[in-house]
Structure 1
């Protein structure tokens, strides 16, 4: 679909006169070229630039007016809610419903405005790109300056969303919002916690926030303070050594794998630094993966990391104040000692920084449902592996702060992640299903599930390719468009009595064409599996939607492929990895053209002790078969006739092959299990080989007996 057609189908009727006139600009461009035999003159350039400027003024002016109107309506709604709650004793449900409808309209206006600005920004980028391609004049740098002077596309809706969330929560709870410590996790017992991660395309970020705030309020840690954009900033410094031991441990999901990071909230002036250690635990251990942390003053971090400040001294003041129990302080001191020892012993240093702005949704004091959305995610190098010490001996580099997109950094030092990252954390009782709105959200077109996604792993693989040879499964698929068609027309932001058009502007490719969305076939990824299942199992494919399309256009080839897949399924062991017909589970083979030379994809596999025991039992079963064949050989040699000698020799060969093959398979399986390799563990050769040798032995014996 051409962008002009996309624009026409996506525009909001009430705003239609204020969009960029993309078709007219394209027509003017072609007309000017045609009048001078495709030769572009300076006067043409000036005329076209003036027309662009006119369109920019139109869009910018409307955006300012509409933004002012939305803020005014929000302010009026705030006054109405405050007035109604002050007279709560005489308030009626109808009054709350009227206010709820008004706030819903404001929410729809914010959504419309966000779609309007994004679609127009895409339009300007597209027409300038087309201009540069056809005329060979470079307008993009010049016009970008004009865009930055009238930045209609840079409006931050987070402040509006926080205000809307507060008002909507007051109206929804009829003036009695849930109270509690925003940082508390509640006191639920016997709950199962599930965490799932998703990617969200920039086109869908505002819609997602507006949808969630209707069910959960934005989590504000300090309600007495006016919200500022920097309040949502979170920065973490990850530690590792030159061998990338922590990276590999977390990537392979090794039992006991750790991640050590230093985190702070807000700007670089924050004095509280949280030292955190995340430890991965396999399910078979009966333990849960844990995250533990303690607080350090920023001025003491360097001393602590160098070992000049013992862990015991860190908590001397805390012991004197007596605000925590002796047991709690002992646990924190133990944690600090272990972190300090690990950093010094393994010669760890800062290797990577992650920065993002987080919007969290949760009921205060109730952690049963928590949703967080991380936007503007950026990874930055902090290492000195290439001989350049970016931190200059400090525990973090000081040439950047929270000034996204960190344009002062060289491109080799920064990785700007193209999507937002959504985390859904649930604590539900055993057998209890998540809320319906959560299930609808994670199954919608807005999100794309990416199991086991990690900012640390992505940053390590993207920024330090020379120091890692294993990469996560999602890295070769970063060029896959995760946008999907809308599944449920009624799902999304709707006004009270009429449904909004919910398609949004799409960034298209160089030729202005929008790729067809994938709608079926192949391996399922997010919507056909349980979207709230955290752990991967044998049958969980690790592919994004467009990666597993069956490219065959021949019905004959499709039929042959399906028949072959069914044949394999019939003869295969039930325990082998299963994928649908026309797909390939070997990701290194599937993405061989996208994987950098010398790299391979690490596929997370959960290995439990019973897997080793199963391999041992299989080995012992083979040995017992070999012993039976050996006993048969001995019996034939001792008590058989002359012709039985031939049978004894054949059975001896069978026994010898059984012993050698079983030893080889046991060693091979143990090595593959230990290395967590995604290979076919089912034996498709051995049983057939032994049966064939036995049949051959009997047949040869029969021939020799018959010849006698």
Structure 2
């Protein structure tokens, strides 16, 4: 889908006269008035008068969009203020009614709920309007610079900063709407309790799943969630400030080998992550020292996060070992606000973390910053959803000679001033997506709420299991020191936006339909990257009332609502994972080791390349059957039509590997050993047959000798094959490689060999006895 088509199909009726005139601006680009170009193309040259005319029209379009955005934003603010007064008036009547007096009717609450739903839809539509126009301006500027050769983008960036219609932050509106909607939904009786909802616990266990959310879908997702869960506000009496959402963490590791990074990446039993976290700005006095510990499922334990609080002024002394845990909790014991058992647990945790940091030489290596919007019922942690936006990873080390944090536990040249423009590019990674975490504490066998199942199955999110800010930041910020990359790294180059797959989204009460303002016309061919970006945006930018999707699947099958992409060969994974020989990686590692090991690996790589070339040549020469092309499935036909589906197989950069998570349980070792013993048993059977034929025949003949030899050779080959397979599997299990643990050819080859040997024995014995 080209951007012109996307703009026409996404127009919201209320805003239909206020969108950027994309087609008109394109027409201006084609209306050059200069002399014919010297290249013989027949196009006229772009003149200064043409540039003045185009810039004037562009300024008018920017003023139109900016004015509409400002007017609508003020209207929404007024509507929220009016709804707040109405809700408070109804709730006060409910709370102040006397005995026998009737309170507000159900109809009043329903009208208030409809009004708030309409405001929520307005916020959603405004966000979509802003996003689409922002994209349109940059696309037309890109087209202008390409077609005319005049560079307008730097000057236009300045104009955008003067009229920043795209920088509207809806978080304050979301929080107000959440509070009001919760009051109305609960009919004036919202759930009350500790806003921390478990924050007082030193250790807590949750079942967490993580998803990526494209920035275009963030506001819509927030508005959908707040209709089911209120925004969690820790201090309701305080006016909302942007820095209240800020969360910053400093991650520790040993820069020499990054053992904590590798442990968390491989998910080894007992792998730890140590971090220092604070909420809000840099002036926050309380810092939480946290340790995450990974537990394998077979241990019967759950991964756990434990933490204790520490004053910021004491962090350096604690991390250096100058301040002992007993002194940290001495004041807590005197005050008696916590039980002795809880204090003892915190003290033990502090001692263990301090010992690990000092023993292993852990230092601050990476900082993560993001703004978090949390959705949760107060005092009820069964369902907690958090959405982290503006995620940024920043270096904290001093490895390259640059002093960042120095001897301090964190660098002080930055705070919560996203996007941290003062930092050099090599010190910062700005994550392109928001991160959604769904945390459930459900009983055994209990299903999550249906609306959560719909959210995670919708087009708004992309599942990324076990995503870690620490792993991603470390892998990106230390490219020369990190050799193993997380499995999601190749996905960073793929746009995660998807077409709407089922009826789900923001609904406007009793309003439907959309309006387009222009007829379809043929769009000129844009550049490849521009076309791809526009196509990836797909559906989902339309009016909130147009919640019906073109493509639908049965809502009963939540897992089936995800897009099923075919693969060219199901035997091969999409990633070049560890079970495959990677010449570049092996050579880089061997070159660092040097000596005979390097020459052995070099010889093996050359032999592997020669064998691969010979095999490819043999496959090309020898005739072989070709696969029959099957018609495209109905689901793929509905999603992609007749367009060609491209399949891309990702490989890591030279000298690196993409680590695919593999869960290894103890029973896997036993399974490999049982399989090996099974092969040994059958090899012994075959050897016994050979010995019987050779030594216990009534009339030993050359035929009997050769038949016995065939069975003996078969037994030896079976033994050697089983030993080799056992060594391969054992090494793969120990190294947690994503190897093929099934045997595709071995059992079949053994059966065929046994059949051939038994057949030959029957034929030769029959000839020996002169039956034929």
TM-score, normalization: structure 2? Answer: 0.79
1:49 aligns to what SS in structure 2? helix
Question: Where does residue 501 of structure 2 map in the other structure?
Answer: 487
Show the counterpart of 2:737. Answer: 677
Residues 374 and 420, structure 1, Cα contact 8 Å, conserved in 2:
yes
1:418 and 1:226 map into 2 onto residues whose CA distance is: 29
Aligned length: 655
Alpha-carbon shift at residue 403 of structure 1 (Å) = 0.9
Partner SS for 1:18 = coil
Hey, what does 1:642 align to over in structure 2?
700
Q: Note if contact 1:311-1:337 (Cα within 8 Å) is conserved in structure 2.
A: yes
Paired residues of 2:16 and 2:515 also in contact (CA < 8 A): no
- TM-aligned CA deviation for residue 696 of structure 1: 4.9
Mean alpha-carbon deviation: is it higher for 696-705 or for 86-95? 696-705
CA shift at 1:670, angstroms?
0.8
Q: CA deviation at 1:139?
A: 1.2
CA contact 2:251–2:366 (8 Å) conserved in 1: yes
Corresponding residue number in structure 1 for 2:658? 601
The answer as to whether partners of 2:290 and 2:308 remain within 8 angstroms in 1 is: yes
Q: Is the 8 A contact 1:20 1:56 kept in 2?
A: yes
- Partner-residue secondary structure (3-state), 1:478: helix
1:591 is aligned, of 650, 657, 675, to 650
8 Å Cα contact 1:281-1:287 kept in structure 2: yes
Corresponding residue for 1:16?
Answer: 16
C-alpha distance in 2, partners of 1:670/1:647? 35
Q: Distance in 2 between matches of 1:471 and 1:558?
A: 36
SS in 2 for 1:54: helix
2:429 equivalent to 1:418: no
One of 686, 691, 698 as aligned partner of 2:751 = 691
In structure 2, relative to structure 1, the CA distance for the partners of 1:501 and 1:194 (3 Å cut) is farther
C-alpha change, 1:583 and 1:136, in structure 2 (3 Å) is closer
Q: Trace 1:590-669 onto structure 2 (pairs within 5 A).
A: 590-592=649-651, 595-640=652-697, 641-643=699-701, 644-669=704-729
Return the offset for 1:508.
9.7
Per-residue CA deviations over 1:292-332 (Å, capped at 9, x if unaligned) read: 01111111111111222222222222222222222222211
Q: Report what 1:551 is aligned to.
A: none
State the SS of the aligned residue for 2:628.
helix
In the TM superposition, what are the counterparts of 1:122-161 in structure 2 within 5 Å? 122-161=135-174
The yes-or-no answer on 1:82 pairing with 2:88 is yes
SS of 2:28's partner is: helix
Secondary structure of the corresponding residue to residue 451 of structure 2: helix
Per the TM alignment, residue 187 of structure 1 is displaced from its structure 2 partner at its CA by: 13
Change (3 A) 1:341 1:530: farther
Offset of residue 255 of structure 1: 1.2
How far 1:652 moved relative to its partner?
Answer: 2.9
SS in 2 for 1:147: helix
**Cα distance change of structure 1 residues 258 and 540 upon mapping to structure 2, 3 Å threshold:** farther
| Structure 2, unaligned runs of 5 or more | 38-43, 98-102, 517-525, 540-549, 552-556, 563-569, 576-624, 632-643
Residue by residue, what CA displacement relative to the aligned partner does 1:114-173 show, whole Å, maximum 9, x if unpaired? Answer: 111111111111111111111222211111111111111111100010000000011111
Match status 1:318 vs 2:324: no
258, 262, 267: which one aligns with 1:244: 258
TM-score by length of 1: 0.86
Q: Which residue of 2 aligns with 1:31?
A: 31
Give SS of 2:16's match: helix
8 Å CA contact retained: 2:195, 2:379: yes
- The answer to whether the aligner puts 1:438 opposite 2:452 as a matched pair is yes
Query: Is 1:372 matched up with 2:386?
Result: yes
Q: Distance in 2 between matches of 1:147 and 1:307?
A: 51
Contact 1:193 1:428 in 2 (8 A): no
* Conserved 8 A contact 1:473-1:542: no
SS of equivalent to 1:467 = coil
Which stretch has the larger CA shift, 429-438 or 88-97?
A: 429-438
What's the counterpart of residue 182 of structure 1?
195
1:171-320 to structure 2, matched below 5 A, reads 171-185=184-198, 193-242=206-255, 243-320=257-334
Equivalent positions of 1:50-65 (< 5 A) are 50-65=56-71
Quote the offset at 1:33 in angstroms: 5.5
Change (3 A) 1:558 1:482: farther
Match in the other structure for 2:133: 120
Task: State the distance in 1 between where 2:560 and 2:328 align.
Answer: 47
Q: How far 1:530 sits from its partner (Å)?
A: 9.2
Indicate if the aligned counterparts of 2:11 and 2:515 stay in contact, CA closer than 8 A.
no
Partner of 1:215, secondary structure, is coil
1:394 aligned residue (408, 430, 433): 408
Q: What is the SS of the residue equivalent to 1:276?
A: strand
Cα distance in 2 between the residues matched to 1:295 and 1:55: 53
RMSD across aligned C-alpha pairs, in angstroms?
A: 3.1
The Cα shift of 1:697 comes to 4.2
Closer, same or farther in 2 for the Cα pair 1:653/1:502, shift >3 Å? farther
State which structure, 1 or 2, has the greater radius of gyration over its C-alpha atoms: 2
Partner-residue secondary structure (3-state), 2:20: coil
CA-CA distance at 1:193 after TM superposition: 4.9
**1:79 positional shift:** 0.6
CA distance in 2, matches of 1:355, 1:502: 41
- Superposed CA offset, 1:463-510 (max 9, x none): 222112221222112121211222234x2222211136599xxx9964
Q: Distance in 2 between matches of 1:541 and 1:502?
A: 47
The alpha-carbon distance between structure 1 residues 562 and 251, as it changes in their structure 2 partners (threshold 3 A), is farther
**Matched residues in 1 for 2:410 and 2:205: separation?**
37
Query: Are 2:120 and 1:107 aligned?
Result: yes
For 1:509-520, what aligned pairs fall within 5 Å after superposition?
510-512=529-531, 514-515=534-535
Deviation at 1:221, TM superposition (A): 0.8
Task: Report the Cα distance in structure 1 between the residues aligned to 2:339 and 2:677, rounded to whole angstroms.
Answer: 54
Spell out, residue by residue over 1:246-288, the C-alpha distance to the aligned partner (whole angstroms, 9 max, x if none): 1111111111111111111111111111111111111110000
Deviations 1:80-130 (A, max 9, x none): 111111111321111111111111111111111111111111111111111
CA contact (8 A) 1:194 1:425 kept: yes
Q: Structure 1 residue 70 and structure 2 residue 76: aligned? A: yes
Deviations 1:3-24 (A, max 9, x none): 2232222122222222222221
In the alignment, is the contact (CA less than 8 A) between 1:319 and 1:326 conserved in 2?
yes
- Are the equivalent residues in 2 in contact too, given 1:186–1:365 (CA < 8 A)? no
What is the rounded CA distance, in whole Å, between the counterparts of 1:186 and 1:477 in structure 2?
34
Q: How is 1:477-626 mapped onto 2 (pairs within 5 angstroms)? A: 477-489=491-503, 491-499=504-512, 510-512=529-531, 514-515=534-535, 528=559, 560=628, 590-592=649-651, 595-626=652-683
Q: In the superposition, relative to structure 1, how do residues 2 and 645 fare at CA in structure 2: closer, same or farther (>3 Å)?
A: closer
Go from structure 1 to structure 2 and tell me whether the alpha carbon gap of 1:4 and 1:439 turns closer, same or farther (over 3 Å shift): same
Give SS of 1:32's match. Answer: coil
Cα distance per residue 1:503-535 (max 9 Å; x no partner):
9xxx99644453376999xxxxx964698xxxx
Once the 2 structures are TM-superposed, how far is the Cα of residue 626 of structure 1 from its aligned partner? 2.7
Match of 1:47 in 2: 53
Contact (CA 8 Å) 1:3, 1:508: kept in 2 or not? no
CA distance in 2, matches of 1:181, 1:470: 42
Distance verdict in 2 for CA 1:625–1:336, change over 3 Å: same
| 2:600 matched residue in structure 1 | none
Deviation, 1:443, is 1.4
